[in-house]
Amino acid sequence: MSVIEPVTEAIIQHFLDNHDPQIGSPLLTRIPGEIRNTVFAFTFQQYYNEDKMYDHGSYRTSRPGYRAPLVVSTALLQTCCKVYLETRLLPIQQYEHVFWCHRERRGSAFEGSPLLYFQSLPTALLPHVDTIQIFAHMSWLDQGFAREWEGLSLLPLLLRRLKITVRQPDWRYWYNNAPLVMEREWIKSLVHLHKDLCELVVELEAIERDKDQVRGWNISV
């Protein structure tokens, strides 16, 4: 059985030193690099894995824009060394890394733990991660976020955008019409935000019955 080895910096250097410049390719020699990059970026757009569509009625892992796991086709990277060298970072840069952080972990080990997921990636890719989207139950924010974020702050992430979404079913005892309560301890962890972060978005969703409870809330970092 063959084993696919991860691409190392030594392999990248070997490609740089020994690749075919593909001087006979109009795509790689006549089209300006800016246009070529636009074409390549389009091929790495993420899309639904239609073989693993979420239960449409599930409030845990289904919402507009997130009806299935998001995937990226990397077949372009296999065409030649020249294309690989030009495009190898685009998939990680363009991919929105999505996590469903519930009271209890469900699905894969990485699904509910950004820390475990990013620890599993090659270190050389981490500085190129751009966006993280977290759908978080309030219990996870209170009990797990600080630990996760402290661990993430030790990794060489150069995160540009962090989005945290609390949906209506993520509020404690919302089904009993309990008041929507947010503890502020997890917010203190945000002081460790990386200096390269350009955008922090916190979405607080509520049904019509509860909308006045979240209107006007301020989160200070």
Residue by residue, what is the 3-state secondary structure of the chain? CCCCCCCCHHHHHHHHHHCCCCCCCHHHHCCCHHHHHHHHHHHCCCEECHHHCCCCCCCCCCECCECCCEECCCHHHHCCHHHHHHHCCHHHHHCEEEEEECCCCCCCCCCCCHHHHHHCCCHHHHHHCCEEEEEECHHHHHHCHHHHHHHHCCCCCCCCEEEEEECHHHCCCHHHCCCCCCCCHHHHHHHHCCCCCCEEEEEECCCHHHHHHHCCCCCCC
Global pTM value: 0.83
Q: Is the pLDDT reported for residue 186 higher than 90?
A: no
In this structure, the answer to whether residues 106 and 8 fall within a common structural domain is no
Share of the chain above pLDDT 90, in %: 15
According to the model, what pLDDT value does residue 5 have? 53
For the stretch 95-144, pLDDT in tens is: 999 998 885 545 455 578 899 999 988 888 899 999 999 999 988 898 88
According to the model, what pLDDT value does residue 185 have? 78
In this structure, the answer to whether residues 86 and 121 fall within a common structural domain is no
In this structure, the answer to whether residues 108 and 40 fall within a common structural domain is no
According to the model, what pLDDT value does residue 128 have? 92
In this structure, the answer to whether residues 174 and 104 fall within a common structural domain is yes
Question: Is 78 within the bounds of a domain?
Answer: yes
In this structure, the answer to whether residues 50 and 122 fall within a common structural domain is no
Its domain, for residue 183, covers 95-209
Question: Is 27 within the bounds of a domain?
Answer: yes
Q: Which of 48-57, 90-99, 194-203 has the highest mean pLDDT?
A: 90-99
Share of the chain above pLDDT 70, in %: 86
In this structure, the answer to whether residues 118 and 181 fall within a common structural domain is yes
According to the model, what pLDDT value does residue 173 have? 86
Question: Is 220 within the bounds of a domain?
Answer: no
Question: Is 217 within the bounds of a domain?
Answer: no
In this structure, the answer to whether residues 5 and 46 fall within a common structural domain is yes
